[in-house]
A and B are shown apart, each in its own frame.
Chain A
Amino acid sequence: MPPDAEALAEADIEAVAEQVFVALADPSRRAILAALASGGPATATDLADRLPITRQAIAKHLALLAEVGLVTPEPGERRRVRYRLRSAPMQVAQQFLAALARDWDGPLGALKDHLDRSAHGPATTPHPSRPGAT
C-alpha cells in the first residue's frame, strides 16, 4: 500500500472504532444494539416494547446509529422502517480490543519457567496461558 493510502486506512479504522466505542458508551444505545444482535432486525416500535426506553428516545438513537453506519435501515412491514445491526464496524472495534487483550507477558513468563525447570530438574506441571485470555 502507498503511504497515503496507509495513512488514510489508519484514519478510517480509527474513525470506525471510535464511532463504535462512542455508541457503546451510552447505556440506551448499548441496550438497542444488544437487542438487535440477539433478536435480529426490529422497528423502533418493536424495540420500545422490549426495552425500558421511550419510542421517541429509541428513534433518536437509531437515527444516530444509522448515520454512523452501525445499523442499516431497511423497509419493513406496514411501511415501518426496520433496523438491522451492521457487524463490519463491530469487527473493526474488536480488532482494537484484540490488541489490548493480547497477553504476551503471561506466555513469556511461562517460557522462562519452562526453560528454568528443564535446566534444573524434572519437569513439573506447566501452567499454560492462552494468549488473549487475562
Chain B
Amino acid sequence: MNAIAYCFANAMESDASAIARGLRRRDPDLLDRLIEQYQHRLLRYLIYLARNRELAEDLFQETWIRVLERGYQYDGKHEFSTWLYTVARNLTIDYLRKKSPLSLDGLMEDEVHAALEPADTRPMAWEVVQQHEQAERISAALVSIPTEYREAVVLRFQEGLALEEIATVTGAKLGTVKSRLYRGLHMLMSRLEGAQA
C-alpha cells in the first residue's frame, strides 16, 4: 500500500516537474494541453469568483496569458492547479480593483445577484428539467453569499482542493479557511431553505 502511495506521489511530482520545465520553455503544445485539461475547472472557479460569465471568459484567457508570461515562477513542487487558481484569483482581484478601489466584496455589491445560467440549454426530459432548476437554485444561492465564503466553498466542494491548497490559493490561514467553509456552507443552506420555503 505504501509502495503504491509512493509511486503515485512520485508520478505526481514528476508530472508537476514536467509542467514546470515546459512552462519555463513556454512550450505552446504543453499550454494547449493544460488549457484543455483545466478548462472547466478554471472557468467554473472564475464564474463564481466574478459572478459574471462574460467577465469570467475574459479572465480565463488572461489567466492563460499570465501563465505563459510567468510560467517560470511555477516551481513544480506543488500541484499545478493550486498555482493556476492563485494566478486566476490575483488577476480577478486586480481587475475588480481597477474597476473600483474598494474591497473585493464591496465591488460586487452592485452586481446583479442573478443565478448563473448552466451551459446546456437543450430541450430536456422532465427529470433533467428538474435537475436544471435545482442547479439554478444552487447557483443563485451560491452567488448570493459573500465572495470569500463562496470562494472557499467552490474550491473545496466543486474543485476538490485540500484545505492547505485553499489556504495557499487565497493567502489565508488554515483556521480562516475552515471557518469560511463552515460559515459559507451554513449561509448556502440557509439561503436554499429560504428559497424552498
Q: Do A and B bind each other?
A: no
